[in-house]
Structure 1
Amino acid sequence: MTPFPDLLLEPLVRAALAEDLGPWGDVTTRAVIPAGTTCRARLAAREAGVVSGMQVAALAFRLVDPALRVSLHRPDGSRCIAGEVLMEIEGDAAAILSAERVALNFAGRLSGIATLTAGFVAETAGTATRITCTRKTTPGLRIVEKLAVLHGGGFSHRFGLSDAMLIKDNHIAAAGGIRPALAAARAAASHMMRIEIEVDRLDQLAEVLDQGGADVVLLDNMDTATLTEAVRMVAGRLVTEASGNMGLSRIAEVAATGVDYISSGALTHSARTLDLGLDF
């Protein structure tokens, strides 16, 4: 996929660098490394996975020193094996050392998300079901974590509260029921706004289908047999999304029900960091 403009990612990387460098900068490097020392460093994978965060890592090095030469060997979205060099950085040794941890933190975290997502996607093979992430992201890092899901072959749910309507159980309770909630949402939505509504029982789904007004129905915390019946009831009239308790071991059987999407917060909140390292 086409890289995002650095303009959108730079504020996150600047904040991380400022947090790490603190008010006095890298005191160890300044004390130990003679001024003008140059070197070549290799950022490598210590285990196999799907690469993400290379654009962000490269940006971290360039923000510390624009003169650093960054060579990318494995782009975001590609697979890597253990020991494979993903990126080389050449130039001022102090600058490389000062950016190292921020670059590795981003790249390891995002590659972990991409790798877990790819595992979920693999479980949907032979079906039309798509894997999508949620808003259960690290505060402040949503854009890069959702990018990592895309690098792993998944899709993004709404980015935030403003780009789509999702009527959840608490909205329904506060609005007085499914019918008034859907009617109010449809009256307020522009022609560009999609409406999704959450149900966890088949009688609620029947009410949604009878009322009309929704574009997508979120089938929440249903067992596989109930999901199968729900997809049959919808019969293509709405986009279907299964959510709740969607661990890796369950994805294949849920995809076999015919749901259009499976959403899982685990993609971003429970991914293990991929082990990467940087050596001179």
Structure 2
Amino acid sequence: MLTPAHIDRVVAAALAEDAPWGDATGEAFLPATARARAELRAREAGVLAGAEVFAAAFRLTDPAVQVTLHAADGDAFAAGDVLAAVEGPARAVVQAERIALNFTQRMSGIATLTRAFVDAVAGTGARITDTRKTTPGLRAVERHAVRAGGGINHRFSLSDAVMAKDNHLAVLREQGLDLTGAIRAARERLGHTTRMEVEVDRLDQIEPVIAGGVDVIMLDNFSLEDLVRGVEIVAGRAVVEASGNVTLETVGAIARTGVDVISSGALTHSVRSLDLGLDVQVRAGDPADRAAS
């Protein structure tokens, strides 16, 4: 999902936003010949995501900047670990620093939180997935971070799968349409490779939805007792997804009800950026270079 072309596109846009006419401070204070070396160091423990995005921020600012990665996406690290080294023209290093950190800190925060959710459901068979509650324009970046943390991705966009939620069902009810019949009619209009998911918020909706021929049924904001009963009613006829009120404190109990997938928007919309720092050392060029500048 997060291709090199996509990385370059989102990082280039961020760099242009941050320095539309160059870095006035770097150009005023740093000699053109000055070089810098920096280390990306963890100030707290976590899971890395965004290593290639970090490197792209420097490469797109100046191809002369060299980035050496000491960890890969999905690697756990401790406070104090050095995750990458950067070396090149000082102006470029300090210009790209903030954008490189912004991406890597947020992506690593998402990966770290996702890993905590995954660990909380270990041994249950339930999988952790994200939602479309992502930062506009950065969905691929944030969803890559979810995968780095051990989670899986829900549909990427409205174009990828059919997912009828409460508002869709409300329109059907207002028009007096039969739920099972409406689902079957929708299924007939779909290609054979398109999956269909329907959200329900009551136990009595499950059988009509299953009868329509869905692939996935979402049990939204169900109590733990109703989740257990819902899994029993579905009885393996569809993938069962649980959603709503999913937190680190509740996700383990939700997983133990027997659901197949647990989705949480908190993985991307409520995450805290991880504390990573870039410690820069700047040195001037040789005397001849300084004289020339």
Q: In which range does the TM-score fall when normalised by the shorter chain?
A: over 0.9
Matched, 1:266 2:281: no
- Root-mean-square deviation (CA), in Å? 1.1
CA–CA distance in 2 between the matches of 1:15 and 1:9?
10
Alignment of 1:173-192 (within 5 A): 173-176=170-173, 177-192=178-193
Give aligned pairs, total: 276
Do structure 1's residue 11 and structure 2's residue 9 form an aligned pair? yes
Aligned mate of 1:122, from 114, 119, 124: 119
TM-score of the superposed pair, with normalisation by structure 2: 0.92
Q: CA offsets, 1:140-192, max 9 Å, x none?
A: 00000000000000000000000100011111121235224312320121111
Deviation of 1:206 (Å): 2.0
Is 1:36 the counterpart of 2:40? The answer is no
Asked whether 1:112 is paired with 2:113, we answer no
Answer whether contact 2:2 2:141 (CA < 8 A) is retained: no
User: Which ranges of structure 2 fall in alignment gaps of 5 or more residues?
Assistant: 281-293
Partner of 1:248, secondary structure, is coil
- 1:225 matched to which residue of 2? 225
Distance (whole Å) between structure 2 residues aligned to residue 19 and residue 137 of structure 1: 20
> Which amino acid in the other structure matches residue 202 of structure 1?
L
1:71 lines up with 2:68 in the alignment: yes
Determine if the alignment matches structure 1 residue 256 to structure 2 residue 256. Answer: yes
- Stretches of structure 1 lacking an aligned partner (at least 5 in a row): none
Deviation, 1:4, is 4.3
CA distance in 1, matches of 2:110, 2:195: 27
- Please give the secondary structure, in 2, of the residue aligned with 1:131: strand
Output aligned runs, 1:97-108, within 5 Å. Answer: 97-108=94-105
Structure 1 match to 2:169: 172
The answer to whether the Cα contact below 8 Å between 1:6 and 1:59 also exists between their aligned partners in 2 is no
Is the contact between residue 206 and residue 230 of structure 2 (CA under 8 Å) also seen in structure 1? yes
Give, in whole Å, the separation in 2 of the partners of 1:114 and 1:105: 14
Residue 194 of structure 1 corresponds to: 195
Cα shift at 1:39: 1.8
Q: How far, CA to CA, are the matches of 2:159 and 2:3 in structure 1?
A: 22
CA distance in 2, matches of 1:213, 1:237: 9
Q: 3-state DSSP class of the match of 1:128?
A: coil
How big is the shift at 1:265? 0.2
Q: TM-score, normalised by structure 1?
A: 0.96
Q: Percentage identity across aligned positions?
A: 55
**CA positional deviation for 1:5:** 3.0
- Is contact 2:2-2:140 (8 Å) kept? no
